[in-house]
Amino acid sequence: MPGTLYIVATPLGNLGDLSARAAELLRTVPVVAAEDTRRTRGLLTHLGASPQLLSYHAHSEDRRLEAILEILHEGRDVALVSDAGTPAVSDPGTELVAAAREAGVTVVPIPGPSAVATALSAAGLRGDRYLFVGFLPRKGGERARLLARATAEEWSVVLFEAPPRLVDLLQDLARTAGGGRRAVVARELTKLHEELRPGTLDELARYYTEHPPRGELTVVLEGAGTPVEPAVRTEDAVAQATQLLADGLTRKEVVRRLSESLGMSRNDAYRLVMELP
């Protein structure tokens, strides 16, 4: 019988947040696959645990994944941990979990700390529904698209960011959502210098310009409140309509396609298509 792959949530900072179930598992499991073996070794030493420790991170080669699968097929259990929080949630692990399932290996989650839930619970913003987008790309069209999606979202939005880029993120959100939109910056959650700072996007951008942040950061953005249609770039709509017409579709059909694929209103799509040669 193959071993079991355990997905183990570890503390964000305060070691007291490690569940009794997770602690017992880490003391008894023969192999631990860790994002950063140096950080995980400290946790294991605290627990008096001494499993075989393997490195498994976002840049691991395929042969490392295959080595872990081989260990599982030998019948040994493996615990997957990230530096902090829950693996595979904006952390390494998704490919390993998928490969294990495809290979018939049992996957068991050991729940626990999550920066997303921790920040959202203390933000004072609606948490019954939310959008999690993790780290945005540093620049380019994909960053612009996700910024537009985040600021148009009806519900709260949770983002991660690195300290040197926090002010840029807050300013970009302010430009897209308006500087008066509320947000909360959660810094160093569960650690000695934990800080949860609420304010408008403009206020927070000014504060962190004057007080550069350090440590792990989670941002909770207030939702737009009502659905907001993302802006449609005219050049994208024109390009799509032109191609559809060239493919032989009627103008009526092209209007329908634009409305469905780009979220344009029927009237706007009709005007655009009728103006094309």
Region 152-164 average pLDDT: 96
Does position 232 have pLDDT exceeding 70, yes or no?
Answer: no
Do residues 51 and 31 make contact, with C-beta atoms less than 8 angstroms apart? yes
What pTM does this model have? 0.78
Cα–Cα nearest to 55, from 79, 80, 78, 36: 36
Q: In a 10 Å sphere around its CB, with 0-12 CB exposed, 13-18 middle and 19+ buried, how is residue 166 labelled?
A: buried
The region of weakest confidence among 67-71, 133-137, 259-263, 264-268 is 259-263
Tens-place pLDDT, residues 52-88 = 999 999 888 889 999 999 999 999 999 999 999 999 9
Mean of pLDDT over the chain: 93
Describe the strand order of the beta sheet including 52-55 as a list of residue ranges: 52-55, 31-34, 78-81, 4-8, 106-110
Q: Provide the 10 A C-beta neighbour count for residue 274.
A: 9
CA distance 276 to 150: 32
pLDDT of residue 267: 85
Tell how many helices (H) and how many strands (E) occur in the chain: 11, 10
For position 231, what pLDDT does the model report? Answer: 58
